[in-house]
Amino acid sequence: MNRFISVDCGKADTKTSVLLTLGNSIARSSFPTRVIEKPDKSCLESVNGTGETGFIVEYDGRVFAVGDIANSDDSFTSNQNSKNDITHKIATLVAISRSVNNDDAVKVVIGCPIELYSNTTNREKYLNSILPSGRIDITVNGISKHFTIIKKLVLPESLGILYSNRGLFEDKLVGIIDIGGLNVNAAIIDNLRLVSNSCFTEKLGRRAIENEIRQYANDTYESSFSTTEINAFIRQGYITDNFDQARENTSRQFIDKSLGNHVVNIVRACSKHGWNLRNMNLVFIGGGSILLKDKIMSAFPNATVVENAAYANSDGFLINLCFTERMLTEG
């Protein structure tokens, strides 16, 4: 069977969008972009064949722990600010393998940084380093998969929303602000065309918020809180304290202020890079925009925080791939 798959392998999470044959709907999934080679025994014992976000992977004679079973402090990349490495290759192949059956023929689209995409040679080199052509043999949580990549495509990151919602951009000047796990990537679009020299990247993703809240929680309670706990506190808007209501209320104020200040920092970054935020339309995507939606809308009442914001890129890439294939078939 032919499969159409999009993989948005970010520095924090790997998102996958897959075209379902029934109803032309999209299935979505994600897992943390963490990879450790030669995992220890605790990793090997922590997963089974039904793992959804943690995987033991065998590929090309090497063994990796991938996803939430890979400790973020131990997981590696060849360059922490680069995506051209084994981490993103393995994460991408795992994402594909979870969405296919044996002997499937796969058409895949991935993203790459805008500055890399602008150079044809560099983007092709990136594509080939992440996605091999031809047959892929990979074992994930003890289940062997083999499939064949018959078409591969690379598109610029943060611009997936252009393909899925053209109406937001036609005849308009629009700033796209993609709030990811580690970074904020931003670009200005003029009537569906990228404005040269408008793009920038700043380390203002949701991890900065998590780190600030973690520091506050650890200092307040003289303890060490897990990422799971910190994310739960942020979602609910306060640090649960069953014995001290005043301290819980103080945490509510701190988290609210932290979220507001983070939006202010993003605004300052835009201004630093010469953006005129007063007089342009704004579209926010990325998982961080969900977390910050209330603060974003308070600062910019006319802004758009897109639906399924965490999957805006992978969904858009998939739509582009399907449209391209349909046009090629019809032509």
Same domain, 278 and 318: no
Span 168-183, average pLDDT? 97
Is the domain of 124 the same as that of 100?
A: yes
> Where does 61-193 have alpha helices with state H?
86-97, 114-117, 120-130, 160-164
Q: What is the pLDDT of residues 207-218, one digit of tens each?
A: 999 999 999 999
Tell whether the model's pLDDT for residue 167 goes beyond 80: yes
Mean predicted confidence (pLDDT) in 1-12: 94
131 and 261 co-located in one domain:
no
Query: Are residues 259 and 179 located together in one domain of the fold?
Result: yes
Single out the residue of 323, 320, 319, 312 nearest to residue 30, CA to CA.
312
In a shared domain, residues 253 and 277: yes
* Percent helix / strand / coil, the chain, rounded to 5: 40, 30, 35
Number of residues that make up the chain: 331
Same-domain status, 143 and 197: no
The number of folded domains in the chain is 2
Question: Are 155 and 23 part of one and the same domain?
Answer: yes
Same domain, 82 and 216: no
259 sits in which H/E element: helix 245-272
- pLDDT of 330 above 50: no
The arithmetic mean of pLDDT across residues 25-51, rounded, is 76
pLDDT of residue 39: 73
Angle at 168 between CA 274 and CA 310, to 5 degrees: 80
**pLDDT, tens digit, 9 for 90 and up, residues 129-152:** 999 999 999 999 999 999 999 999
CATH number at residue 45: 3.30.420.40
- The per-residue pLDDT for range 58-87, each reduced to its tens digit, is 999 999 999 988 865 555 443 344 554 799
Which residues form the domain of 60? 2-160+312-330
